[in-house]
Amino acid sequence: MGDPFRRKVHPRLSWDEYFLKIAMLVAERSTCRRHHIGAVIVRDRQILTTGYNGAAAGVKDCLELGCLRDELDIPSGERHEICRAIHAEQNAIIQAGLHGISIEGATIYCTHSPCILCAKMLVNARVKKFMTYGDYPDKAALELFKEAGVEFAKGRKPDPKISTLD
């Protein structure tokens, strides 16, 4: 019959899978009706900041007001200024600034590839790597990363199930 106290062993996540899975959890705070996006900025395997996409603090969000982009039939990746949400990467950068945390040399783990606006900010913040499992329709960010020397890596989407031994 076997030992009833023997625990089932789960494969251990790689560091990239671990931080991408955390980004998935961060995305659950999103107030966007179109996409839930999460970002985690990490250096030396330590989380520096997180961010998710949503309206500015203290103002009504899309869950309450509806999505203006949907109402105007604006495709993803276009007319960023119409959206009331701040992107997950932007919110993670803002959190670093608010708390006096340098993100130079860090890796950002994000559920989606970045738009060009976020890529510009990440380049200027001197982030060294962007890791994701998702896509974005505009490829301009990837060209900017290549030119600026920011490593871009795409992995597989982690299993969203939380595995524990109990």
At residue 162, φ and ψ (nearest 5 deg) are: -90, 120
Q: CA-to-CA distance for 79 and 95, rounded, in angstroms?
A: 25
- 89 in catalytic set: yes
Residue with tokens 């039939």: 73
Residue with tokens 């040399």: 105
What is the DSSP code (8-state) at residue 139?
Answer: -
Note the helical H segments in 2-128. Answer: 15-27, 62-65, 68-71, 88-98, 116-124
Q: CA-to-CA distance for 117 and 29, rounded, in angstroms?
A: 22
Q: CA-to-CA distance for 165 and 155, rounded, in angstroms?
A: 26
Q: CA-to-CA distance for 27 and 52, rounded, in angstroms?
A: 5
Paired with 130 in beta bridges are 108, 152
Q: Which of 28, 89, 104, 151 is catalytic?
A: 89
Catalytic positions, written as ranges: 89
